[in-house]
């Protein structure tokens, strides 16, 4: 696993993979309470990192606008449904 200072260097995929591993360990029920709390804190940091990466990716996505003839006229920011 990684601590919070190292987590910002992780890719989205690596952070998600680590988060899934943490969830699996917590769901197993075989983790002592103190370790479970530590894992939960690490998981929460990874969740926030993943959400921030998703938000940044969404902000970069643009919708292409076209005129009646199908010619590209510009772009507009992505609007989440």
CATH number for the domain that contains residue 57:
1.10.287
Shortest CA distance to 25 belongs to which of 36, 16, 17? 36
For residues 23 and 42, the answer to whether their CB atoms sit within 8 Å is: no
Global pTM reads 0.69
How many Å separate Cα 26 from the centre of its chain?
A: 19
Domain count, the chain: 1
pLDDT of amino acid 28: 96
For residues 21 and 14, the answer to whether their CB atoms sit within 8 Å is: no
Q: E strands within 1-81? A: 62-66, 72-77
Domain ranges, residue 36: 4-77
Tell me the pLDDT of the chain (81 aa) as tens digits.
Answer: 555 556 678 999 999 999 999 999 999 999 999 999 999 999 999 999 999 999 888 777 766 777 788 887 877 777 665
């Amino acid at each position: 696993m990684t601590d919070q200072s190292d987590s910002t260097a992780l890719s989205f995929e690596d952070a998600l993979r680590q988060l899934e591993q943490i969830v699996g360990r917590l769901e197993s029920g075989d983790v002592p309470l103190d370790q479970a709390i530590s894992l939960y804190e690490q998981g929460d940091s990874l969740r926030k990192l993943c959400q921030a990466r998703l938000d940044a990716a969404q902000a970069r996505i643009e919708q292409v606008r076209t005129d009646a003839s199908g010619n590209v006229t510009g772009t507009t920011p992505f609007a989440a449904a």
